[in-house]
Amino acid sequence: MSSVAIISEQLRCIVMTTALKGRYMNEQNQETVLDPKDRKPLEELRKQLTFSFKNLWNPENQEEMNAVMAFCEDYKVALNKGKTERKFVMFAVDLLEKNGFRAFNPDEQLAAGDRVYDSVQGKGLIAAVIGSDSPDKGFNMIGSHVDSPRLDLKPNPLYETDDLAFLKTHYYGGIKKYLWVAIPLALHGFVTLNDGSTINISIGDKDEDPVFYISDLLVHLASDYMQKKASEVVAGEELNVLVGGIPITNDEDVKERFKLGILKLLYDQYGIVERNLLTAEIEIVPAVKARDVGFDRAFVGGYGQDDRVCAYTSLRALIDINQPIRRTALCVFYDKEEIGSSGVTGARSQLYLSVQKRIVRSMLNREPSAFELIDNIENSVMLSSDVAAAYDPTYASVFDPRNSTYAGRGIAIVKYVGRGGKGNTSDASAEYFDEVTKLLDKNNIPWQTGELGRVDQGGGGTVAMFQADFGITVIDCGVPILSMHSCFEVASKIDIYMAYKAYNVFLKQMRVED
Ligand code: MN
Ligand code: MN
């Protein structure tokens, strides 16, 4: 007899005896009052039959507390160093090289235990630890994205008006525009100079740097503006970044003397002329450092945690594979997720699959057959790791509390995202959902599940459906975040650490028989 059956039997006896004693639902239909001792089997039954997720913090487990806090110190460094997709890829490559990974050369042979990476045009990345299984058995993959909502400079950005110099911007990804005014901003750019050389510029994140700024309308004159809808109170064309106010000369007859003052500084410092700005990629991001949040430092606050929290935790999970593995483990960073995963560095691009195919070829040390490549894709399994919305009691009305993910309850494994009637999502299968969560259970890695928010309140997308299109079995998962897409997002440190542990187990053990 199973334990549930035993409890059910005990319960039947209690109900019978209680009924015989005349305490069970008399004619007036009064409530039954059970003896406290008789309630115990019911509590046991409840424990056996119901399921709930628990908060994971355990201050008495000092060893784990130390590990969580230490991990998040490293994570904050990653957030500070990788504030754009390019900067994060640069940071990741540096970390990989320090940990025994080398740039992948498609002409070389790959053997079990090899650690390689390949940059996808400097904005995406694939890193791999080669396993002993043949590649047609498939890979264990974790895919996240390293782009975040931000302001890009327009092609012709620099102008002056009324004794002030500005840069015009075009926002990238889903932002509440009013959050970007009256805060310190930093500028990160990739510029090709006249001589063909390229430079990375970063201004605003070091303590001694100047910052940049978008003005807010003083409340004293905001009567009309305050009547506008939140989506219109700051318009896209009003996101103009203040970059200067000292003219190159006080001779008022010199044309564009404020703009010229800025251009002269850019030329002296970097060799940049206005022509170079037209083709450059220059991104404006909040000039905030990642910080601990709360008296107890339970959270990390910082810009761009969507989705660099999943990128960093999966990167560390890959790096920390220190024993031979069966299935090749891949960590993939995509660009352009925030604008629909389009573009050559987005998750829809064949470039990522091409790298994967070259890895297969190098593992086999010969040209793979078409079906070996197909088998590799179709037998690969992926976690599409992207942040979830943490339940926010301040905005409770937009969440379904029974189907939300909560800060402090671990990594969220999410069957589907999308909007409306599950539009634009991959909707993982029951079989795969169960397989992933059973693997975590087996390894004592806590997890939770939920949806983004209430049905018809909005929605969101991830890279999962694009990988599913290629034939890779995939499910969404990620760290719950408060204030997603704001300039300072917040994540619970215990969730960050548990995501790392979950990713490490997935990469090493998924689809590996004992
Ligand atoms: Mn995301
Ligand atoms: Mn996002």
Q: 70: CA distance to ligand 1 center in Å?
A: 25
- Residue 161 to residues 156, 246, 474: CA-CA distances in angstroms? 15, 12, 51
Q: Are 353 and 410 in a shared domain?
A: yes
- pLDDT(222) > 50: yes
- pLDDT(23) > 60: no
Residue 3 half-sphere exposure toward CB, CA atoms < 13 A: 8
What was the pLDDT predicted at 307?
Answer: 97
Q: Kindly report, residue by residue over 346-374, the tens digit of the pLDDT.
A: 999 999 999 999 999 999 999 999 999 99
Q: Kindly report, residue by residue over 406-465, the tens digit of the pLDDT.
A: 999 999 999 999 999 999 999 999 999 999 999 999 999 999 999 999 999 999 999 999
**Band of residue 27 on the pLDDT scale cut at 50, 70, 90:** low
**Band of residue 22 on the pLDDT scale cut at 50, 70, 90:** very low
Q: Kindly report, residue by residue over 89-111, the tens digit of the pLDDT.
A: 999 999 999 999 999 999 999 99
Q: DSSP character for 367?
A: P
Indicate whether 409 belongs to any domain.
Answer: yes
Q: 277: CA distance to ligand 2 center in Å?
A: 27
Q: Are 240 and 199 in a shared domain?
A: yes
How many whole angstroms separate alpha carbon 176 and alpha carbon 385?
24
Indicate whether 59 belongs to any domain.
Answer: no
Q: Are 87 and 211 in a shared domain?
A: no
Q: Are 205 and 258 in a shared domain?
A: yes
Q: Are 116 and 202 in a shared domain?
A: no
- pLDDT(5) > 80: no
Q: 143: CA distance to ligand 2 center in Å?
A: 14
Q: Are 254 and 400 in a shared domain?
A: no
Q: 253: CA distance to ligand 2 center in Å?
A: 48
- pLDDT(267) > 70: yes
| Residue that terminates a domain, selected from 220, 253, 286 | 286
Q: Are 156 and 108 in a shared domain?
A: no
How many whole angstroms separate alpha carbon 238 and alpha carbon 258?
20
| Residue that terminates a domain, selected from 253, 286, 319 | 286
Q: Are 237 and 312 in a shared domain?
A: no
Q: Are 333 and 449 in a shared domain?
A: yes
Q: Are 340 and 451 in a shared domain?
A: yes
Indicate whether 54 belongs to any domain.
Answer: no
131 within 8 A of 327, measured Cβ to Cβ: yes
151 within 8 A of 169, measured Cβ to Cβ: yes
Q: Kindly report, residue by residue over 474-507, the tens digit of the pLDDT.
A: 999 999 999 999 999 999 999 999 999 999 999 9
Q: 105: CA distance to ligand 1 center in Å?
A: 30
Question: Average pLDDT in the 276-289 region?
Answer: 98
How many whole angstroms separate alpha carbon 121 and alpha carbon 89?
10
How many whole angstroms separate alpha carbon 329 and alpha carbon 470?
18
Q: 338: CA distance to ligand 1 center in Å?
A: 7
- pLDDT(7) > 90: no
Indicate whether 186 belongs to any domain.
Answer: yes
What was the pLDDT predicted at 196?
Answer: 97
Question: Average pLDDT in the 53-67 region?
Answer: 98
Q: 215: CA distance to ligand 1 center in Å?
A: 28
| Residue that terminates a domain, selected from 236, 257, 286 | 286
For the chain, how many structural domains are there in total?
A: 3
CATH number reported for the structural domain that contains residue 234 in this entry: 2.30.250.10
Mean pLDDT of the chain: 95
Query: pTM of the entire structure?
Result: 0.94
Q: Kindly report, residue by residue over 110-164, the tens digit of the pLDDT.
A: 999 999 999 999 999 999 999 999 999 999 999 999 999 999 999 999 999 999 9
Q: Kindly report, residue by residue over 296-326, the tens digit of the pLDDT.
A: 999 999 999 999 999 999 999 999 999 999 9
Q: 235: CA distance to ligand 2 center in Å?
A: 21
Q: Are 324 and 405 in a shared domain?
A: yes
Indicate whether 217 belongs to any domain.
Answer: yes
What was the pLDDT predicted at 31?
Answer: 79
Bridging pattern class, strands 411-414 and 447-448 = parallel
DSSP string for 131-162: -SS-GGG--EEEEEE----EEEEEEEEEEEET
Indicate whether 56 belongs to any domain.
Answer: no
* Nearest ligand to residue 485 Cα: 2
CATH number reported for the structural domain that contains residue 404 in this entry: 3.40.630.10
Q: Are 182 and 320 in a shared domain?
A: no
CA dihedral of residues 100, 445, 312, 97 (deg, nearest 10): 0
Q: 137: CA distance to ligand 2 center in Å?
A: 32
Q: 444: CA distance to ligand 1 center in Å?
A: 26
Q: 149: CA distance to ligand 2 center in Å?
A: 7
Give the residue numbers spanning the domain of 275.
150-286
126: left (phi over 0), alpha (psi -120 to 50) or beta: beta
